[in-house]
């Protein structure tokens, strides 16, 4: 049987990571994987996370099954955090713990397929590398909408024109902030236009929240999602705690669904639990318990938000330094494109050949589409990165 298996495609990000691991040049720089690294080049455990783990160890709670919805305290805390304490009424929203944001996307895709088999999900072009595979694996059709214009800035007009074709009960996948891979986000006016368009045409937004807190700040980054929740009858949200809590390996996330009907929400709960049961049964407890402990304790929450602010400030400083150095090296147009981006990632306006040169000549690893992880650079390495980019970008 297994000899009949055709050669499957290799994940491009992990293939690049393997190539980086095999590179013996001491000056090599890995800007591929989306993880935050500090000035020591390590991905730290946040102080609030360490303190929450001590609290949990002292409690010595049972390891008994939590149930198909996971940690209910975590689910309540995520609803309050994402939607706001005084925002969407509780009888309009439900949440289920998932295996990170990826698991939330897949559960919500299964919910869509169960509700409207074969429907279309619209994703941005370019999109996060896993969006299309997840939606297609759930049996959904995928179409794309424009995201970035020729000038490297957000193409609001093109996006709205494309999404004007999205039909009733189709799904539009939107990244809530810090777009991956481009770092380009819509303006507040454009988010309002999206809400108007969804309301008129009847399509349902699916918001992917993976980087909230790392763009303009936690409240500002969540504002577009909250606005959609207030203005639209239905909303799907996939939430990840990997980046803003540093819980990459603990695979912590949740799926949130908003509906105008309490009856519909009861059916949603059952459908999500059934989907979870067949995919992985129950999500891991440890990360969810950490997040719940932090968000339910005022001191720990304040500590977490302060450290999150520090991470965001460092990412901003990295991007500003790279922008300045590129301008000083005679690349003002390229610098202007980067200056308009935010979050962990930036997409360089470079082609595949230039990115391969960057890797081959300067040992700088980014994707062939130009994406680099701004949050993974040590400040002392930015001059080297700027020189490499300037060298391969031509006149």
Which pLDDT score, from 0 to 100, does residue 389 have? 96
Q: Would you tell me how many other CB atoms lie within 10 Å of the CB of residue 104?
A: 29
Q: What is the mean pLDDT of residues 71-95?
A: 89
Indicate the CATH number for domain 49-296.
3.40.640.10
Distance of CA 68 to CAs 65, 240, 329, Å? Answer: 9, 18, 55
Q: Would you tell me how many other CB atoms lie within 10 Å of the CB of residue 370?
A: 19
**pLDDT tens-digit series, residues 318-335:** 999 999 999 999 999 999
Q: What is the mean pLDDT of residues 229-253?
A: 97
Q: Would you tell me how many other CB atoms lie within 10 Å of the CB of residue 312?
A: 25
Any idea which of 11-20, 214-223, 277-286, 319-328 has the lowest mean pLDDT? 11-20
pLDDT above 90 coverage of the chain, percent: 83
395 pLDDT above the threshold of 60: no
Contact in structure between 392 and 354 (CB atoms under 8 Å): yes
* Pairing mode, strands 204-209 and 235-240: parallel
Instruction: Output the CA torsion sign for 63, 69, 72, 74.
Output: positive
Indicate the length of the chain as a whole number. 395
Q: What is the mean pLDDT of residues 253-274?
A: 93
51 φ/ψ angles, rounded to the nearest 5 degrees: -65, -40
**pLDDT tens-digit series, residues 21-58:** 888 899 899 998 889 999 988 999 999 999 999 999 99
**pLDDT tens-digit series, residues 131-142:** 999 999 999 999
Q: How confident is the model at residue 188 (pLDDT cuts 50, 70, 90)?
A: very high
- What is the C-alpha separation between 357 and 370, in angstroms, rounded? 12
60 pLDDT above the threshold of 90: no
Q: What is the mean pLDDT of residues 334-344?
A: 93
Domain ranges within the chain, ordered by starting residue: 9-44+312-392, 49-296
Q: How confident is the model at residue 91 (pLDDT cuts 50, 70, 90)?
A: confident
Burial 197-233 (b: 16+ CB within 10 A, else e): bbeebebbbbbbbbbbbbbbbbeebbbbbbebbeebe
150 pLDDT above the threshold of 90: no
Return mean pLDDT, the chain.
Answer: 94
Indicate the CATH number for domain 9-44+312-392.
3.90.1150.10
Tokens 């360490």 locate to 50
Burial 28-39 (b: 16+ CB within 10 A, else e): ebbbbbbbbbee
- What is the C-alpha separation between 386 and 395, in angstroms, rounded? 14
Q: How confident is the model at residue 17 (pLDDT cuts 50, 70, 90)?
A: confident
Q: Would you tell me how many other CB atoms lie within 10 Å of the CB of residue 144?
A: 14
Q: What is the DSSP code string of 161-200?
A: HHHTT--TT-EEEEESSS-TTT-----HHHHHHHHHHHHH
158 pLDDT above the threshold of 90: yes
């Amino acid at each position: 049987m297994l000899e009949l298996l055709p050669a499957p495609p290799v994940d491009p990000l992990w293939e690049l990571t393997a190539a980086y691991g095999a590179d013996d040049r001491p000056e090599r720089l890995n800007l591929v994987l989306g993880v935050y690294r500090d000035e020591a080049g390590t991905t730290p455990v946040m102080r609030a996370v360490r303190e929450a783990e001590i609290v949990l160890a002292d409690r010595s709670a049972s390891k008994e099954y939590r149930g198909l919805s996971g940690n209910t305290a975590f689910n309540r805390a995520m609803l309050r955090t994402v939607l706001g304490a005084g925002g969407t009424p509780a009888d309009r929203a439900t949440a289920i713990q998932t295996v990170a944001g990826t698991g939330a996307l897949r559960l919500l895709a299964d919910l869509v397929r169960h509700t409207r088999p074969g429907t279309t999900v619209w994703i941005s072009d370019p999109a996060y590398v896993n969006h299309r595979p997840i939606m297609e694996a759930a049996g959904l059709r995928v179409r794309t909408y424009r995201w970035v214009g020729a000038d490297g800035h957000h193409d609001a007009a093109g996006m709205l024109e494309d999404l004007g074709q999205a039909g009733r009960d189709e799904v539009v996948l939107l990244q809530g902030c810090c777009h991956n891979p481009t770092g380009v986000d819509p303006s507040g006016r454009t988010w309002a236009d999206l809400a108007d368009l969804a309301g008129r045409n009847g399509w349902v937004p699916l918001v992917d929240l993976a980087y909230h807190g790392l763009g303009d700040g936690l409240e500002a980054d969540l504002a577009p999602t909250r606005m959609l929740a207030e203005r639209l009858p239905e909303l799907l949200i996939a939430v990840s705690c990997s980046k803003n809590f540093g819980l990459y390996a603990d695979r912590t996330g949740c799926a949130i669904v908003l509906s105008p009907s309490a009856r519909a929400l009861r059916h949603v709960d059952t459908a999500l639990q059934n989907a979870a049961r067949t995919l992985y049964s129950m999500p891991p407890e440890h990360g969810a318990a950490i997040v719940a402990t932090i968000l339910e304790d005022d001191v720990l929450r304040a500590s977490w938000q302060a450290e999150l602010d520090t991470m965001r400030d460092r990412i901003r400083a990295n991007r500003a330094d790279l922008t300045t150095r590129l301008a000083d090296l005679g690349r003002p147009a390229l610098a202007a494109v980067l200056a308009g981006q935010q979050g962990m990632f930036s997409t360089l306006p470079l082609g595949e050949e230039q990115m391969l040169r960057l890797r081959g000549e300067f040992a700088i690893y980014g994707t062939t589409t130009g994406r680099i992880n701004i949050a993974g650079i040590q400040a002392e390495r930015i001059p080297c990165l700027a020189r490499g980019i300037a060298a391969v970008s031509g006149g």
